Amino acid sequence: MARMQPIPGTAERLARNDQLVVLGAVALVVLLSGLYTVFGIGMDMTAVEMTRMARPIGEPMAMGSVTPWTAGYAMLVFVMWWMMMIAMMTPSAAPVLLLYTAIKRASAQAGSAPLLSLLFLSGYLLVWAFFSAIATALQWWLETTGLSDGPMMSLSSRTLGGALLLAAGAYQFTPYKHACLSHCRLPVQFLTAHNRTGLAGAVLMGAHHGIFCFGCCWALMLLLFTGGIMNLYWIAGLALFVLAEKTFPYPRVFTAGAGVLLLLAGSYVLVTAS
């Protein structure tokens, strides 16, 4: 009995379909998390209202009511941070996610390529859940010590805001920054060197990639405290910068240029802190 031959172009069509499924899922995740962030679900004000009332660094608008920190409120703040990180960081992970999908489609796990890709994404986002837990604890501490304004979710200390800008600028020049960024910019090398099989392997690979992304971007994400955690201008600006840093040519020039600008901005804020 003659063996049935595959229809020409079938593999390519299936690969495109897989990537469309993954892209659609990524777009939906970014859309839902973005809407959650914009409407500030669970918060006293929406991000639009907080952005409209934003003031210069370290000079938040005085508000009368302060929400007390309880376990329930801490959970709401954690979810807010995580949704914001998902909206900001998922687009920059799309290139490695699509390449991972293509590799799995060409492997023995071809039938599970979309599922494996979504598990890869879940592992990546779990790392940013870890960062969100740290950011929530830091926000709690800053508010209880009076260094941050609770209702406006921004620093009430211009000196601390300048120091954060300086720290983020200095980190742009460290070998840790460049090492992590190189892994994010070269997904082929990452996926080849850290390949794992199975469902658990997909989650672990995503988390591994997320750790490199975390090492690259954590200092930038902390700048949300400086500009206002729910300030949409800072959220969008940092998200676009992270995407550009991972995709633009001449990464060392781009990273160094951003570092210089952050150092200059931090110096200006510190000098004018009084």
> Residue 249 pLDDT > 50, yes or no?
yes
pLDDT digits (tens, 9 = 90+) for 167-219: 999 999 999 999 999 988 888 888 988 888 889 999 999 999 999 999 999 99
CA-CA distances (angstroms) from residue 112 to 115, 158, 163, 199? 5, 51, 47, 9
Domain range summary for the chain, segments of one domain joined by + = 12-271
User: For the chain, what percent of residues have pLDDT higher than 90?
Assistant: 62
State residue 64's pLDDT score: 64
Position 53 pLDDT exceeds 50:
yes
With a cut of 60, say whether residue 2 has pLDDT above it: no
Cα–Cα distance, 90 to 125 (Å, whole number):
8
One-letter amino acid for residue 128 of the chain: W
Quick one: how far is CA 127 from the chain centroid? Answer: 10
Average of pLDDT values for 225-234? 93
Phi-psi region of 250 (alpha: psi -120 to 50; beta: other; left: phi over 0): left
Q: What is the pLDDT of residue 140?
A: 95
Read off the pLDDT of residues 108-148 as tens digits, 9 standing for 90 and up.
Answer: 666 788 899 999 999 999 999 999 999 999 999 999 998 99
Angle made by CA atoms 11, 13, 18, in degrees to the nearest 5: 95
**pLDDT, position 66:** 76
Q: pLDDT for 27-49, tens place per residue?
A: 999 999 999 999 988 888 889 99
Percent of the chain's residues with pLDDT above 70: 93
Identify which of 209, 206, 207 has the alpha carbon closest to the alpha carbon of residue 183: 209
